Structure 1
Amino acid sequence: MKNTAKNSKLDISYKPIGQFEETRFEKIHNVIFEDSNEASIVVAHEIAALIKKRQGQKRNCVLGLATGSSPIRVYEELVRMHKEEGLSFRNVVTFNLDEYLPMEPNNIQSYFYFMHEHLFNHVDIPEKNIHIPDGTVSNEETTAYCLSYDRKIKEFGGLDFQLLGIGRTGHVGFNEPGSHFNSGTRVITLDHITRVDAAPSFLGIANVPRKAITMGIATVRKAKRIVLLGWGENKAGIIKKTIEGDISSHVPATYLQEHDNCTFVLDTGAGSQLTRNKTPWLVDACEWTEDLKAKAMVWLCENTGKTILSLTDKDYNDNGMADLLALDDSYDLNIEMFNKLQHTITGWPGGKPNADDTHRPERATPAKKRVIIFSPHPDDDVISMGGTFDRLVEQGHDVHIVYQTSGNIAVSDTDARKYAEIAMQISPSDQAKNIIKSIADKNETRIDAPEVRNLKGKIRRGESYAATRYMGLDDKNVHFLDLPFYETGTIKKKNLSEDDITIVVDIIKQIKPHQIYAAGDLADPHGTHKVCLDAVFAACEELKSESFMKDCWVWLYRGAWHEWDINEIEMAVPMSPGQVLKKRYAIFCHQTQKDGVMFQGDDSREFWMRAEERNRDTANKYKAMGLSSYAAMEAFVRHKFN
């Protein structure tokens, strides 16, 4: 069935960007918002409107609910509306999509726990109206139990609204690749990628269950209305496959193409790979801004395998860019783009003294700058910009490394116990003894005791000093903020608070920097980078009237997960083979993060390997464009405040 949801309502007063227009590429209605917060509020208001409508009809409102990070902000807004606007959930009946198996309800990783923590404990929904798959059901009872779960949904008249997330395998609920479109609620074996994505919450993949109970594709598709949430660049690839690809059991979410009232609600990152956003010149006539011209010409070089200066009129015409030639001829376009890329390359990230800086990415004055490198975790500095860090120190700038969080949850219990046992051998103490006992007695329903978290934080702090000393930085220029939002002992963090922002404000006021480097790598799978960047932006906004901020430039780097596209890069810092090795050894100083790191993501390589390949790839892309050849490059984008 052709998707006919083009005019589905998602019509609160917020204005989505990139409104859906049916193209030959897209098969599912979708809207794209600037950020997930705005999008989540819109979805929450649609759910609230449906609840109120059913109340007016004196009917139950039957909701299918999802877990994971994607719907959290939706639930927060629903809770706010309940507390501040009187939205009642007395007529709401809920059915959750899935649950791990086996899983006790009181386990902090259970979806039972998740739903009560984020929604049910804060609204007036009757307990009898809450239905979450039972993670304690025995093997012998699962078939009957799953059939009864579907039957119960049917008894309530079916799902009025189904909220979904999407996994990187294309799963909805836990319907992994290979799921049949007629599948009902059942037990399923989890895909390895799904378990990898869940590993941070479980503090390691070894702790992630291998099975789950999930609503089936057929159960989901029977919902009268479906809204799927997609946030971040790490979901962009699977979103493109789902919206533009053929229906296939290999990507179960594609079955939603046949639903007649389904909307994908995306942020700009998740929607970035859709054809109308990635290569809009293949869809329709374009307004050729400077940014779009750069994006198109880089794509054209990659698509044709040619350098910039060798592109011809025919290359432009054959690849959907004939209207660009109407503005200028290929020779002038090529020269302009070549010069633009060439001017991003500099071996002087702090600016080259006594040089004409007209076409350089950084200012020549002052010759010696005060620099803050904000590092969300205690190793992002060397992983993401170790070569640039080295250059800045080597060239005499006053460099300060500011670690925003303790990074304590990334230290394994094994490593923490090893350090505590060493401490006991050197100088026996009750404190070390208690830490060892706390770790030994820890079970899956507990988080680390404060003294264990403190030790783990100190371990990471010691590793950070080892790395910064190796890079030639004085200890007095190393700062640890230990922002409060992070200190929960679990992967789930608190929301950014004024206390966090004030701490960042204070360090910026203390140093009065000419340059700030901050992590713009929002593909970080557990979200710490985004919160840390938000803290930096909020602090800069608060300080914008300060005279020193008028001379402060903010540069964004990316880390172990993604790199800036070539057309986005505004400063590219080359690295010699020797600097590549120096960066590697600095990363090695973070020993607890080297072998079997807890938050690996979907990439089995160690972080130093990822960083080197990313930096080498960036250099190779510049070379493929016809520019100079380097061993490696680190890339930055300048953030300009309004």
Structure 2
Amino acid sequence: MTLNHQEIELIDSFEQIAVDIYPTAKDGSKAVAQEIAALIKERQGSNKPVVLGLATGSTPKYLYAELVRLHKEEGLSFKNVITFNLDEYYPLEADALQSYNRFMKEQLFNHIDIPAENCHVPDGTLPKEKVKEYAAEYERRIEAAGGIDLQILGIGTNGHIGFNEPGSTLTSHTRLVTLDNATRQANAFEFANMSQVPRLAITMGLSTIFKAKRIILLAWGTHKAKIVRRSVEGHSTDQVPASLLQQHPDCKFVIDEQAAEELTRFKEPWLTGDCEWTPKLRRKAVTNLALKLNKPILMLTDRDYNENGLNDLIVQYGSAYELNIEEFNGIRDTITGWPGGKPGAQLPSHPERSEPLHKRVLIFSPHPDDDIISMGGTFIRLHEQGHDVHVAYQTSGNIAVTDEFVLRFIDFAVGFEGMFDIDRSKSSQILEDAKAFLRVKKPSQKDTPEIRAIKGLIRRGEAKATCRYVGIPETNIHYQNLPFYETGTIEKKPMGEEDIQMTVDLLREVKPQQIFCAGDLADPHGTHKVCLDIIFAALERLKHEDFMKDCWVWLYKGAWQEWNIHEIEMAVPMSPDQVLQKRLGIFIHQSQKDVVPFQGTDLREFWERAEDRNANTANLYDQLGLQKYAAMEAFVRYHFM
């Protein structure tokens, strides 16, 4: 959407900080990398150093990767660069897997020509009584270097910047802080369990950050959208530390389209100026208005539209009545109990085709439980309605199995062999070695290949049991174990040629007429995004093959989020009994029940998340005046041709 001057002024009336929005995180990161490169070259031209303030976490990874590329492929030198990092966990060894010292070396410092003495990351190994003195010295080093020229920031879901949690003041300096529980939960995926997440950290203060001559805050993904809006459009308050950046003279946010979803210019663009009323935007406006006023769609009036900035829409249609009828019917037609198409019925408005009567269906599941958690009711219904359903488990999911759960299985296996006097000395030795390792395993250690194999086997068994529960034959189960995932750590490799080729081969083998895959990009660990990119890359290669010309692709959301009501193109309702049937299917994944590693900030178990999410979708349809169901699973069609 092209913005004219008047629209920009209207946007400025909402947004109190400059915001640059890019299609993807990679696009935004490349733009920021170019700014950094230009600053470095400018200072090189005058033989002066440049001082960068750097952030850690998943947000700046693409930025650092692009800086490394600029160094290796375009000769960008970092010899005149001095860096100061925002923060570090405390206490934590510098070489721990979760250490920000280690992160910076692996992501950036080890791959460029920056002098080691120019790199400063807070020391998380100091005795506690020496931290205050060390923090003051950290401040002095920044001042001695000439101050920070450009500070890179990320943002937490509670608005923290660095580890300055809600309540931090603008006068705060580098110091030891207590981490908010929400922050610890968000970062728990980096550790074996919540108890190992440090409760303290050393962080630059807000005063230190605000002394930077220029600040760029990065934010990617839908899970950052709400806090971005609060920071950019809300009041400047220490309860949302990032919102205080409204007071900085040279600050901007660089975000992707997903992180921009809650900004007024995206959520309600009609309030920021003229807009093009596409069918999708029209549905968004009508459903938003109905939910905002707590009215069914058919009860909305001309006055409701006029008083909420939607007069142009009424002018286009002539009256609320005509508009309401059209949108009500469109949303009604997304509801179907036949996700594979209704046999013997030619319904032009039905989400799926009626023919062929029995389809070959391929469900891609990023982890071994996403199929039953995200679309369990649809999964079961597809099988019951006679479709040839296949499931592809894209990754082993091994890192999401606790050490305690492994020990439980090892004890069973060793005990089983002992009880029946089975001579399996080699396997017994492997199990004993694994058990011995887990007894002394440190938080900074990654699992041995044998333990990863055991954890993967546990999850494979649960996935197989789920398919057996649904009624899927073993011949229709495909364990891909995509290589990008098999690092033994949270940090995954980028998708590679082997990942894509394995998916291409599977698609050629199954020749599906209907595909379901996870479009949930809110997964905080990124596995869903990589899995989806691999599928899209495979579809791009195969799109001209005959079998793909009769294939439709549907995207489901995972345990983290649901589609917005105006986006849904197929909604599969569930009765109370079907909700219970799905719950029992999720319970099969015992390794993911009760205590789940890496579950993010949501403390609910996955079955609770799924039920609440599905019930909420059904309630939204009810609020809009449609049929009332116990729950609904929602899908959006992806067009790859």
**TM-score (norm: length of structure 2):** 0.96
Counterpart position of 1:389 = 379
1:315 aligns with 2:314: no
Counterpart position of 2:520 = 521
Q: Does the residue aligned with 1:24 lie in a helix, a strand or coil?
A: helix
Q: Does the residue aligned with 2:378 lie in a helix, a strand or coil?
A: helix
1:628 aligns with 2:617: no
Counterpart position of 1:467 = 466
CA contact (8 A) 2:187 2:600 kept: no
Counterpart position of 2:93 = 104
Return the letter of the residue paired with 2:607.
Answer: W
Counterpart position of 1:448 = 447
Q: Which moved more, 1:427-436 or 1:540-549?
A: 427-436
Residues 223-242 of structure 1: matches in 2 within 5 Å?
A: 223-242=212-231
Q: 1:438, CA displacement in angstroms?
A: 1.7
Q: 1:603, CA displacement in angstroms?
A: 1.5
Return the letter of the residue paired with 1:641.
Answer: F
CA contact (8 A) 2:499 2:534 kept: yes
2:509 and 2:50 map into 1 onto residues whose CA distance is 54
1:20 and 1:495 map into 2 onto residues whose CA distance is 40
1:321 and 1:224 map into 2 onto residues whose CA distance is 42
Return the letter of the residue paired with 2:108.
Answer: L
RMSD of aligned residue pairs (Cα, Å): 1.1
Counterpart position of 2:3 = none
1:366 aligns with 2:365: no
Counterpart position of 1:591 = 590
TM-superposition CA deviations, 1:398-443 (whole Å, max 9, x none)? 0001000000000000001111121111226111111111211211
- Structure 2: gaps spanning 5 or more residues: 1-6, 418-423
Q: Does the residue aligned with 1:23 lie in a helix, a strand or coil?
A: helix
Q: 1:445, CA displacement in angstroms?
A: 2.2
Residues 38-117 of structure 1: matches in 2 within 5 Å?
A: 38-117=27-106
1:421 aligns with 2:411: yes
Q: Does the residue aligned with 1:566 lie in a helix, a strand or coil?
A: coil
Return the letter of the residue paired with 1:26.
Answer: E
1:558 and 1:350 map into 2 onto residues whose CA distance is 18
1:182 and 1:275 map into 2 onto residues whose CA distance is 31
2:564 and 2:160 map into 1 onto residues whose CA distance is 28
1:444 and 1:562 map into 2 onto residues whose CA distance is 30
TM-superposition CA deviations, 1:37-71 (whole Å, max 9, x none)? 11111111111111111111101110100000000
Return the letter of the residue paired with 2:149.
Answer: D
CA contact (8 A) 1:19 1:31 kept: no
1:303 and 1:399 map into 2 onto residues whose CA distance is 40
Residues 269-418 of structure 1: matches in 2 within 5 Å?
A: 269-328=258-317, 329-418=319-408
Counterpart position of 1:487 = 486
CA contact (8 A) 2:397 2:459 kept: yes
Q: 1:544, CA displacement in angstroms?
A: 0.9
Return the letter of the residue paired with 1:418.
Answer: R
1:571 aligns with 2:560: no
TM-superposition CA deviations, 1:489-514 (whole Å, max 9, x none)? 11000011011011111111100000
Q: 1:283, CA displacement in angstroms?
A: 2.3
Q: Does the residue aligned with 1:326 lie in a helix, a strand or coil?
A: helix
Q: Which of residues 178, 188, 196 is equivalent to 2:167?
A: 178
CA contact (8 A) 1:20 1:31 kept: no
Q: Which moved more, 1:216-225 or 1:378-387?
A: 216-225
Counterpart position of 1:432 = 431
Q: Which moved more, 1:416-425 or 1:359-368?
A: 416-425
TM-superposition CA deviations, 1:188-235 (whole Å, max 9, x none)? 000001000110011221111000000010111111111110000100
Return the letter of the residue paired with 1:344.
Answer: T
Q: 1:22, CA displacement in angstroms?
A: 4.2
Return the letter of the residue paired with 1:379.
Answer: D
Q: 1:169, CA displacement in angstroms?
A: 1.1
Check 1:21–1:57 CA distance in 2 against 1; reply closer, same or farther (3 A cut): farther
Counterpart position of 1:537 = 536
Q: 1:357, CA displacement in angstroms?
A: 2.5
2:256 and 2:220 map into 1 onto residues whose CA distance is 5
Q: 1:366, CA displacement in angstroms?
A: 0.2
Q: Does the residue aligned with 1:364 lie in a helix, a strand or coil?
A: coil
1:622 and 1:109 map into 2 onto residues whose CA distance is 43
CA contact (8 A) 2:78 2:113 kept: yes
Return the letter of the residue paired with 2:97.
Answer: I
Q: Does the residue aligned with 1:578 lie in a helix, a strand or coil?
A: helix
Counterpart position of 2:603 = 604
Number of equivalent positions: 625
Q: Does the residue aligned with 2:13 lie in a helix, a strand or coil?
A: coil
2:60 and 2:280 map into 1 onto residues whose CA distance is 33
2:440 and 2:90 map into 1 onto residues whose CA distance is 23
TM-superposition CA deviations, 1:599-641 (whole Å, max 9, x none)? 2221211111110111111111111111111111100000112
Instruction: Provide the identity percentage.
Output: 57
CA contact (8 A) 1:174 1:212 kept: yes
Q: Does the residue aligned with 1:567 lie in a helix, a strand or coil?
A: coil
CA contact (8 A) 1:169 1:193 kept: yes
Q: 1:19, CA displacement in angstroms?
A: 8.2
Q: Does the residue aligned with 1:83 lie in a helix, a strand or coil?
A: helix
1:150 aligns with 2:139: yes
CA contact (8 A) 1:19 1:32 kept: no
Q: Does the residue aligned with 2:566 lie in a helix, a strand or coil?
A: helix
Q: Does the residue aligned with 1:105 lie in a helix, a strand or coil?
A: coil
Residues 215-226 of structure 1: matches in 2 within 5 Å?
A: 215-226=204-215
2:125 and 2:638 map into 1 onto residues whose CA distance is 50
Check 1:477–1:20 CA distance in 2 against 1; reply closer, same or farther (3 A cut): farther
Q: 1:284, CA displacement in angstroms?
A: 2.0
1:258 and 1:317 map into 2 onto residues whose CA distance is 35
Counterpart position of 2:503 = 504
Check 1:401–1:48 CA distance in 2 against 1; reply closer, same or farther (3 A cut): same
Q: Does the residue aligned with 1:638 lie in a helix, a strand or coil?
A: strand
CA contact (8 A) 1:23 1:283 kept: no
